[in-house]
């Protein structure tokens, strides 16, 4: 494309206004007379949901459904997120998509958010690092991303009208940080402004957060796109820095009028056009004719990603199962797992490998009982009896349960944290019939487990993508060693969650009264026992930590090294977690915060040294008086932890 400034000078006012809204749901408007083509965007984030433009009905094309963000976050593996991004970038090229609408880095304020499955974590450091790796992976292919939903979009209820009432320190330390990290480390081509308001102003009209914070402070160079139908005032959005309103709108004339009557400076419109044209330019430059993607190979990748992410929550020695064992797989999810959540991210998958099919293909001796209706989660007396019978007649029972689609989806929040009643009753009955029972969970957000003492093991598979059955069977039978760690806390009950009293708000006001005490920052500081802490996950091997060495490298920076040894009998992967704990500080702060993590693989007997670099942000809090980051003088402890509740080694600096 010719020089962008020159092009803008040649556009009519109407054409300029037109460039700032979509042509349809997924395309920007072309200006043929000047040779400006459309750019094409598509959902994401864990696969490609792309319309087939070659068909009249625009049916969604088949694509590989990778594990959802809640699952991949549990890998704690930046390299894996980069690799997943690369593969999605390749798929975008093959499908003619220029921008993938993801990742979502909103913070999980409550286990109830219906869209938690699309987000990474309750922790901003983890969400930011994984989001940055994903964006870098996609964009390495010459395809763009859309970092979403900016910001404080932590509930679905009244998402179009509610205002997240949030104090400045909480916004900076919790809800903005992941966006900041991704912008600074990966420069996503686009950022998506959320539906909700923040402190009374719609995100698409929030000049302070778009122009001041995102662009001026963090140095964002890309384009801001509205979430779909999130713009309420077209000229206002242009003035605030929302460059592109999606999808198509019949409101372009409002911009023309506003410029003509002097309410909107034409330079503001020009700036938006410049960013749209820059996006189109990048899109065109990235396109590759005859690009292809290998769906079979991607299915295998999806299995590997799931294997690296599933979290072994409990194991009283029953796992791994012997391949010679006579095992009953019980539950419809064994045959057809729940692999993703509902809503705009829903991928029409190329295939699904369930645990049952995969286990049988491996020649394992596995019987099956459906146990419940996959869609409703309900069980008839006959299904129930059949499940108990299957459990009794096998040496080991593996019960596949979880949340059905109707309990967890975009556009609605859950009302409670419980599994379907029938699933809870099935756990009790199956464990009673056969004490050698393993529970395998499918859910996009934490669930209560009133029965946790009963099964001998619990494997959390979250919403693990279309190849999750391969990962489940490989882990259950010991071909793979589980290495996922929870990227969120599992409270014992919903009422223990710090947002419980305020979540979903009153009318359109949603006050974030718990402030910075989100997730483990609350549970650990308030000494509230949880079912499973943030960072929790078991392995078939053991790791021993030694020689923590922390050195100051500057006034407010440090370097830490620690040795980790695999002292068990099998190869395994460990997530080394570093937390910073403030000591004698005056500010009210969480007892510890995650500031570094690395995933390493160790053979039996092998030792590796893991190194962390900590800059001043690892120690800082947001000072509302000074309106900036501040490090207090009190002193800090560097803690290497097994999870957010268990410190293994510590050193003061
Ligand atoms: C969702 C976005 C999505 C967009 C386009 C919206 O409803 O909030 O995440 O990218 O639709 O499908």
Residue 634 confidence class, pLDDT cut points 50, 70, 90: confident
Q: For a pocket test of ligand 1, which of 344, 345, 411 has the largest count of ligand atoms closer than 8 A to its C-beta?
A: 344
Asked if residues 531 and 496 have their Cβ atoms less than 8 Å apart, the reply is: no
Token pair of 222 as six digits: 């890309």
Asked if domains 295-521 and 541-652 share a fold, the reply is no
Q: Which CATH number fits domain 4-286: 3.90.180.10, 3.30.420.40, 3.20.20.300, 3.40.190.10?
A: 3.20.20.300
Q: Taking 80 as the threshold, does the pLDDT of residue 514 lie above it?
A: yes
Residue 1 confidence class, pLDDT cut points 50, 70, 90: low
Q: Please give the full DSSP string across 296-365, using - where no structure is assigned.
A: HHHHHHHHHHHHTT-EEEEESS-PSPPTTS-EEEESHHHHS---S-BSTT---BS----HHHHHHHTT--
The residue assigned the tokens 């809204």 is 21
Q: For a pocket test of ligand 1, which of 27, 50, 101 has the largest count of ligand atoms closer than 8 A to its C-beta?
A: 101
CA distance 585 to 418: 39
Q: How large a percentage of the chain has pLDDT more than 70?
A: 100
Q: Mean pLDDT, to the nearest integer, of 356-373?
A: 98
CA distance 583 to 323: 51
pLDDT for 173: 98
Cα dihedral value 344, 349, 355, 361, nearest 10: 180
How far apart are the CA of 341 and the centre of ligand 1, in A? Answer: 13
- Which residue, by CA, sits nearest to atom 7 of ligand 1? 228
Cβ(105) to ligand 1 under 6 A?
no
Residue 585 confidence class, pLDDT cut points 50, 70, 90: confident
Cβ(87) to ligand 1 under 6 A?
no
**What confidence tens digit (pLDDT) does each residue in 120-173 have?**
999 999 999 999 999 999 999 999 999 999 999 999 999 999 999 999 999 999
- Which residue, by CA, sits nearest to atom 4 of ligand 1? 228
**What confidence tens digit (pLDDT) does each residue in 85-120 have?**
999 999 999 999 999 999 999 999 999 999 999 999
**What confidence tens digit (pLDDT) does each residue in 207-234 have?**
999 999 999 999 999 999 999 999 999 9
3-state secondary structure 471-493: HHHHHHCCCCCCCCCCCCCEECC
Domains of the chain, residue spans: 4-286, 295-521, 541-652
Identify how many contiguous H helices and E strands the chain contains and give both numbers.
Answer: 18, 28
Cα dihedral value 393, 398, 404, 405, nearest 10: -130
Residue 345 confidence class, pLDDT cut points 50, 70, 90: very high
508 given a catalytic annotation: no
Residue 361 confidence class, pLDDT cut points 50, 70, 90: very high
Cβ(393) to ligand 1 under 6 A?
no
**Residues near 263 by Cβ (< 8 Å), separated by ≥ 6?**
235, 257
pLDDT for 584: 81
Q: 585 versus 437: which is more confidently predicted? A: 437
- Which residue, by CA, sits nearest to atom 8 of ligand 1? 227
pLDDT for 2: 60
Token pair of 92 as six digits: 């975008």
Asked if residues 44 and 100 have their Cβ atoms less than 8 Å apart, the reply is: yes
Catalytic residue among 77, 227, 252, 413: 227
CA distance 17 to 266: 10
Q: Mean pLDDT, to the nearest integer, of 184-207?
A: 98
Cα dihedral value 622, 625, 626, 627, nearest 10: 60
Ligand 1 atom with the shortest distance to the CA of 43: 10
pLDDT for 417: 97
What CATH code would you report for 541-652?
Answer: 2.60.40.10
Cβ(227) to ligand 1 under 6 A?
yes
**What confidence tens digit (pLDDT) does each residue in 391-441 have?**
999 999 999 999 999 999 999 999 999 999 999 999 999 999 999 999 999
Asked if residues 632 and 587 have their Cβ atoms less than 8 Å apart, the reply is: yes
- Which alpha helices (H) appear in 166-312, and where do they start and end? 168-170, 177-186, 207, 234-240, 252-260, 266-286, 295-307
pLDDT for 99: 98
**What confidence tens digit (pLDDT) does each residue in 459-503 have?**
999 999 999 999 999 999 999 999 999 999 999 999 999 999 999
Cβ(148) to ligand 1 under 6 A?
yes
pLDDT for 161: 95
Looking at the domain 295-521, which fold is it?
Rossmann fold (3.40.50)
**What confidence tens digit (pLDDT) does each residue in 270-319 have?**
999 999 999 999 999 999 999 999 999 999 999 999 999 999 999 999 99
CA distance 124 to 248: 33
pTM over 0.75, yes/no: yes
Residue 529 confidence class, pLDDT cut points 50, 70, 90: very high
Q: For a pocket test of ligand 1, which of 47, 160, 193, 227 has the largest count of ligand atoms closer than 8 A to its C-beta?
A: 227
């Amino acid at each position: 494309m010719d020089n962008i400034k020159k092009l803008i000078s040649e556009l009519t006012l109407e054409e300029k206004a037109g460039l700032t809204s979509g042509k349809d749901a997924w395309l920007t408007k072309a200006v043929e007379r000047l040779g400006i083509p459309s750019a094409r965007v598509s959902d994401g984030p864990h696969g490609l949901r792309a319309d087939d433009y070659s068909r009249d009905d625009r049916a969604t094309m088949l694509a590989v459904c990778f594990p959802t963000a809640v699952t991949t976050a549990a890998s704690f593996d930046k390299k894996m997120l980069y690799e997943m991004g690369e593969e999605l970038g390749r798929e975008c090229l093959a499908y003619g998509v220029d921008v993938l609408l993801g990742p979502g880095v909103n913070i999980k304020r409550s286990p109830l958010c219906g869209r938690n499955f699309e987000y990474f974590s309750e922790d901003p450091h983890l969400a930011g690092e994984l989001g940055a790796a994903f964006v870098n992976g996609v964009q390495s292919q010459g395809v763009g991303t859309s970092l979403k939903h900016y910001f404080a979009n932590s509930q679905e209820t009244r998402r179009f009208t509610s205002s997240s009432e949030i104090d400045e320190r909480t916004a900076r330390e919790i809800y903005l940080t992941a966006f900041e990290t991704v912008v600074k480390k990966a420069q996503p081509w686009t950022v998506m402004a959320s539906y909700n308001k923040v402190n009374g102003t719609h995100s698409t009209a929030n000049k302070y957060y778009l122009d001041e914070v995102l662009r001026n402070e963090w140095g964002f160079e890309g384009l801001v796109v509205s979430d779909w139908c999130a713009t309420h005032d077209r000229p206002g959005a242009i003035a605030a820095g929302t460059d592109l309103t999606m999808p198509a709108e019949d409101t372009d004339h409002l911009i023309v009028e506003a410029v003509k009557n002097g309410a909107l400076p034409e330079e503001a419109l020009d700036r938006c056009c410049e960013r749209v044209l820059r996006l189109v330019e990048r899109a065109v430059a990235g396109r590759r004719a005859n690009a292809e993607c290998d769906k079979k190979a991607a299915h295998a990748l999806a299995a590997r990603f799931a294997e690296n992410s599933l979290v072994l929550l409990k194991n009283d020695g029953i796992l791994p199962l012997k391949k010679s064992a006579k095992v009953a797989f019980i539950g419809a999810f064994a045959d057809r797992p729940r692999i993703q959540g509902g809503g705009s991210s829903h991928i029409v998958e190329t295939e699904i490998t369930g645990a049952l099919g995969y286990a049988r293909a491996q020649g394992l001796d596995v019987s099956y009982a459906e146990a419940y209706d996959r869609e409703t989660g309900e069980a008839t007396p006959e299904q129930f009896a059949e499940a108990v019978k299957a459990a009794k007649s096998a040496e080991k029972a593996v019960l596949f349960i979880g949340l059905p689609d109707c309990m967890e989806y975009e556009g609605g929040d859950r009302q409670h944290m419980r599994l379907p009643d029938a699933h809870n009753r099935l756990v009790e009955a199956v464990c009673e019939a056969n004490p050698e029972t393993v529970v395998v969970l499918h859910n996009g957000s934490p669930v209560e487990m009133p029965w946790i003492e009963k099964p001998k093991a619990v494997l959390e598979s979250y919403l693990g993508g279309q190849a999750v059955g391969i990962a489940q069977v490989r882990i259950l039978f010991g071909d793979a060693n589980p290495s996922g760690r929870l990227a969120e806390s599992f409270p014992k009950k919903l009422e223990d969650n710090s947002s419980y009293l305020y979540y979903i708000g009153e009318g359109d006001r949603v006050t974030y009264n718990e402030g910075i005490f989100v997730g483990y920052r609350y549970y650990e500081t308030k000494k509230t026992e949880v079912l499973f802490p943030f960072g929790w996950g078991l392995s078939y091997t053991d790791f021993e930590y030694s020689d923590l060495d922390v050195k100051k490298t500057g006034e407010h920076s440090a370097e830490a090294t620690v040795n980790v040894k695999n002292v068990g009998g099998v190869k395994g992967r460990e997530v080394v977690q570093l937390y910073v704990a403030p000591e004698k500080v005056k500010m009210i702060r969480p007892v510890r915060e995650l500031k570094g993590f690395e995933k390493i693989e160790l053979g039996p007997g092998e030792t590796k040294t893991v190194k962390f670099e900590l800059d001043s942000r690892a120690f800082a809090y947001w000072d509302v008086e000074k309106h900036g980051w501040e490090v207090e003088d009190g002193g800090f402890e560097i803690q290497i932890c097994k999870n957010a509740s268990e410190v293994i080694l510590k050193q003061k600096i």
